[in-house]
Structure 1
Amino acid sequence: MIISFLITAMIPVGNTKVSASTDTLNLKGAAAILIDGKTGKVLYEKNADELLGVASMSKMMTEYLVLEAIHAGKLSWDQKVVISKFIHDLSNPSLGVSTVGLTEGESYTVKELYESMAIHSANASTVALAELLGGTEENFVKLMNKKAKELGLKDYYFVNSSGLNNADMLGNHPKGSDKSDENKMSARDTARLAYHLINDFPEVIETAKQPILKFRGEEFKNFNWMLPGLIFEYDGVDGLKTGSTDYAGYNFAATAERNGQRFISVIMKTGSQKERFEETKKILDYAFQNFSTEEIFKSNYSIKGKKTVPVLKGKENSVKIATKEPLTMMIKNGEKDQYKPKLVLDKKKLDKNGNLVAPVKKGEVVGYLTYEYKGEDLGYLYPNQKSKVDVIATESVEKANWFVLMFRGIGSFFGNLWHGITSTVSSWF
């Protein structure tokens, strides 16, 4: 279901890290990252690989697993979940954690629990879904860590489904972790999780963008205060997940879309509710004001001096090549001229001398076109990524018949013989 790698195939050039001391945006958070929501291209980062408390942003993994189960037919939205005493007690507003108040013995649908988790960050609802999927929350945590590995996350530590500190779980935290443990992730891995969640299950936005949760006659505000109608409303914001604990500070994985361009940002360990939104505004302003998707090289593009590839045993000695599609990518405004084309031929299709071997069919992929960039390149979310497009043969070259090949061989023999004789004679004088 992971469609993200089908969007753009990818390979890094240099990767320049941004530390707190060189932070051009002067952010107040401990770590941050900004990416292109479609390709995962990193546009800005600060301490992006530091393992920090992630709090309720870890609910994105629970959302991912629920949506995956829905798509696989393992769960249905109208499936009923009966609330246990523990879930009821964890849902008590007096605990001071986000909740919608679930009643012991009462049934709630998967959709009700999911929406209360995704919109109002309801912790007891999250644990109820975890128990439904995993049998126990302990088993569900194993699913979380397994999925994290499948998605290519590197710096993560899941001990429960909700992001609460284990000490807040009334003595019922999953086994295998300390009672004061808490989920941790890096900003980069949080962005990776958000990236997969949005691209693999786009419907997640339809829930995340709702500023108000209507739950059994009551209304609860979304903790994402940058949504329409809320206090820090920001044009284009339609998700994704906030999180805060004493250990983690105030975090926010945001996403915003304008005119078809989506960005994802993560800010971690800010000092207050207000600060996490103010710092996110800085990041998103930077994104929308400085970056756009541009066509770097056109379709049917050929590099000067590399417009053909030699062909062995063909009716013609070479074949014309060009890009199958245009190469488009997110770049900083005004920097298009800093991208130079780079042709990479498929070595599996070449002989030891760099020739294609006939027959070559029109439209056959012979390699790819990528780029070399003169500026600061932060790469993509994953180590082996970089935009590229297929390079194809724009014409067919049939294999020459045996008679033509024989005479070419004879001509080559005498040509080599004559070259040897002239070289020998020249050496006498």
Structure 2
Amino acid sequence: MMIDWKKGLTTSFIAALTVPLAGAYTVSAEEADLSVEAESALLIDFETSQVLYNQNAEDQRGIASMTKMLVEYILFEEIEAGNLNWDDEVTISDYAHAISQNYALSNVPLQQGGTYTVQELYEALAIYSANGATIALAEEMEGSEAEFVDRMRDLVESWGVEEYQLYNTTGLNNSFLEGNHYPGSDEDAENIMSAKGIATVSQQLISDYPEVLETSSIPTKTFREGTSDAINMLNWNWMLEGMTHERMDVDGLKTGTTSFAGATFTGTAESEGRRLVSVVMGAGDGFTNRGQRFEETSKLFDYGFGAFEYATIIEAEMDMDEEYNIAVRNGVEEEVSLVTTESIAFYLPEGSDIADYSYTFVPNEEVVNQNGEVEAPISVGENLGQLVVENTEDLEFLDGEAPDSVNVAAAQSIERANVFTVFSTWLREFFNGVRDRF
């Protein structure tokens, strides 16, 4: 059956047909039967960026050593660009040396003026959150920590993170940096970002450089084994294999603790080919209950892996019903059938009733006229409109936009009719137009 497009057309020609569909369901922290003991918490599906749990994830809070994920990303960029190699030697500055000697902080001791490979310093950063090693890498890449911070700022802004405060590469309070402060920053300034911002950083890091997980998943390693510098580096991520809060599906990513930030943790876990990324911030102070951030992260992972089903709302290459067929003007066929070119799918809570959702077909105004016709010739795959899924407003994604539409294309090519048929069509339309005036 062919639709009479003249019925129900608006002036902007957002036309349509609305049909019930297995569709979207709103997931929010308020609805979830889950309580996370942290100031902020966020859980996302890595592949789709869908937010599965949000607890104050827009609030700006201290990020502590989670800052170092930005250093890791830029380091991988430099390696990829050929500007740096893993076996390159880095000479330790007075500043990096001084910070590395503060055993109140997480550190591997670095010799003043000594040399260490990029690989050694990176492992110290990724496994042990070593602050002196982090500064040494930043100085090697940009000449100074301040210049490196500028690059960090540019990077997060390029990812759409607009609210942040970044003053150093380590996430330490400025008061620990022995006067080596970013120009204009306060004596006690500290890096700040939201859980959503940090989730964006971690997602970009894992997506662009998944090899980061090869190191972040190492529970323990000896720094400079067999030398006088040797020190055992025990990963601060206690969810790794053999640790006190182990989960076999966890392989990263970065902890952080300061008095200002409290205990923070960006975690990631993979189960049956599906990866989740979590962020908890202010999960206790990191001292009186040092395992709280891991306990809360485990809750999030249990919820994310166990409480959702992946529902395909619109399938790719789905042949649409005949009622969607569009009339063809001046073609060898009277109408063209439609097919979807993409799919839309969401994670929905198990047992969700999704029968009330629908999609609307919106014709492409550039090719479909006000009479609901498309002019021949038509090529297979030509874009003739979109299917727009309704009721997705409350679905949340890390970039803030739910994918709620897919393109709809011509399912077959239709040639233009011969000149006599085209002329007769024109003649008929002309006289119909004259008649309609009277």
TM-score, normalised with respect to structure 2: 0.85
In 1: Cα distance, 2:432 partner to 2:384 partner:
31
- Once structures 1 and 2 are overlaid, which stretch shifts more, 228-237 or 332-341? 332-341
Give 2:138's aligned residue: 130
In 1: Cα distance, 2:201 partner to 2:387 partner:
29
Conservation of the 8 A alpha-carbon contact between 2:46 and 2:203: yes
Alignment match of 2:46 (pick from 15, 37, 41)? 37
Q: Which runs of 5+ in 2 are unaligned?
A: 1-23, 226-230
- Once structures 1 and 2 are overlaid, which stretch shifts more, 246-255 or 306-315? 306-315
In 2: Cα distance, 1:370 partner to 1:132 partner:
50
In 1: Cα distance, 2:367 partner to 2:120 partner:
55
Aligned-pair CA distance for 1:328: 3.4
Alignment match of 1:212 (pick from 206, 220, 241)? 220
Alignment match of 1:372 (pick from 377, 390, 401)? 390
Give 1:356's aligned residue: 374
Give 1:382's aligned residue: 399
Q: Percent identity?
A: 39
**Cα-to-partner distance string for 1:164-219 (whole Å, 9 max, x where unaligned):** 11111122122221121000000111111111111121111111111113321132
Give 2:299's aligned residue: 282
What residue identity is the alignment partner of 2:119? K
Corresponding residue SS for 2:66: helix
Count residues with an aligned counterpart.
405
In 1: Cα distance, 2:337 partner to 2:376 partner:
13
Conservation of the 8 A alpha-carbon contact between 1:62 and 1:126: yes
Mark the CA change 1:348 to 1:200 in structure 2 (over 3 Å): closer, same or farther. farther
Corresponding residue SS for 2:186: coil
Conservation of the 8 A alpha-carbon contact between 1:18 and 1:47: no
Aligned 1:172-321 pairs, distance under 5 A: 172-217=180-225, 218-271=231-284, 272=286, 273-304=290-321, 306-321=323-338
More contact order relative to length (CA 8 Å, sep ≥ 6): 2
Aligned-pair CA distance for 1:274: 1.1
Measured on the aligned residues, the alpha-carbon RMSD in Å equals: 2.4
Mark the CA change 1:414 to 1:356 in structure 2 (over 3 Å): closer, same or farther. closer
**Cα-to-partner distance string for 1:74-130 (whole Å, 9 max, x where unaligned):** 222222111112211111143x11111111122111122112111111111111111
Conservation of the 8 A alpha-carbon contact between 2:62 and 2:261: yes
Aligned 1:25-174 pairs, distance under 5 A: 25-94=34-103, 96-174=104-182
Mark the CA change 1:139 to 1:269 in structure 2 (over 3 Å): closer, same or farther. same
Aligned-pair CA distance for 1:306: 5.0
In 1: Cα distance, 2:100 partner to 2:94 partner:
10
Richer in helix (by share):
1
Aligned 1:389-428 pairs, distance under 5 A: 389-418=406-435
Conservation of the 8 A alpha-carbon contact between 1:329 and 1:387: no
Mark the CA change 1:332 to 1:82 in structure 2 (over 3 Å): closer, same or farther. same
Aligned 1:1-12 pairs, distance under 5 A: none
TM-score, normalised with respect to structure 1: 0.87
In 2: Cα distance, 1:349 partner to 1:412 partner:
19
In 1: Cα distance, 2:163 partner to 2:360 partner:
33
Q: Which runs of 5+ in 1 are unaligned?
A: 1-12, 425-429
In 1: Cα distance, 2:365 partner to 2:240 partner:
50
In 1: Cα distance, 2:130 partner to 2:53 partner:
31
